[in-house]
Amino acid sequence: MNNKLIKITMGVGLSAAMLLGSVAGVSQVEPQIVQAARSYKIKLNYKAVVYNARGQRKGALKNGRTVTAYGIKKIHGKRYYSLGAGKYIKVATASKVGKAAQPAQNTTTEQPAANTESTSASSKSGLMSLNNSKFKEEAAESFVNQLNEMRSQRGLHKLTVKPALKAYAQTRANEIVAKFSHIRPNGKRTSYEENIGLNSVQVSTTPQEAAKALLDEFIYHDQGSNWAHKKSLLSKANKTIGVGFAFEAKPGMATQGNKYPDYLGDRIAVNLQTH
């Protein structure tokens, strides 16, 4: 998948202590645009040296291993896959997993690929799995668990899932599949401090992988919003959380002249409160 085109858009509404103004105790800001690559799988063709953002060696990965990449970054003029958490490997050492079909003309717009008879049975099975309520519930739970682990490692208290926030976040996740915005379908702003994100995952992904891909975007790839989402999720002030996951109705994506029938767009809404 060509990372130059793919975009992940995230928005965050922060408390009055962090930004201007509030209405009935709730402060909101316009969604912010974060340019980043969507996650995808790559397979190592050779033993790969792992580097940090300065190009310094930090370790190695074995040949044949499949890992998740979050786009391509240039370090000292050379191209590297970003593996998240500040780790990078050279593009030449790996290749993207999955076949890409070349259409007659290259395009520069991102749009769902039309379903065709060639869609595999495994894709359909994976789609049904992703879209069931159990998968969404497990992905939301995993997101909270992984976030709380990060918070604990930083000496922060764990966030508690609040049923009302959880239900609201699921409603918001469903809403942002249709229109990605902090403005709700009724024209009103979202009611809580909120982080929203979109991504794409292979239909064979697990709930834990889907959660990790979006959490990593918020924490490690948030430069475009001046780390606003990371600050929100790791805030000392917040005490409770609700997370909702939702998926597009059909698999398939076309970008930069390539088709990816086994990828499906997903959305996340994370709502937080200080009590």
| Average model confidence (pLDDT) across the chain | 75
Residue 255 burial by Cβ neighbours in a 10 Å radius (0-12, 13-18, 19+): buried
pLDDT interval class at 200 (50, 70, 90): confident
* Structure confidence by residue, pLDDT tens digits, 207-239: 999 999 999 989 988 877 888 999 999 999 999
- Classify strands 57-61 and 48-51 as parallel, antiparallel or unpaired: antiparallel
Domains located in the chain, CATH noted: 40-96 (2.30.30), 127-252+260-273 (3.40.33.10)
* Structure confidence by residue, pLDDT tens digits, 234-266: 999 999 999 999 988 877 665 556 666 778 888
CB-based contact 267:196 (threshold 8 Å): yes
CA distance 19 to 27: 7
What single letter denotes the amino acid at residue 20?
L
Predicted model pTM:
0.59
* Structure confidence by residue, pLDDT tens digits, 10-51: 444 332 222 222 222 233 333 333 333 457 788 888 888 888
Look at residue 215 and give its three-state secondary structure.
Answer: helix
Mean pLDDT of the region 113-140: 61
Residue 222 burial by Cβ neighbours in a 10 Å radius (0-12, 13-18, 19+): buried
CA distance 234 to 44: 33
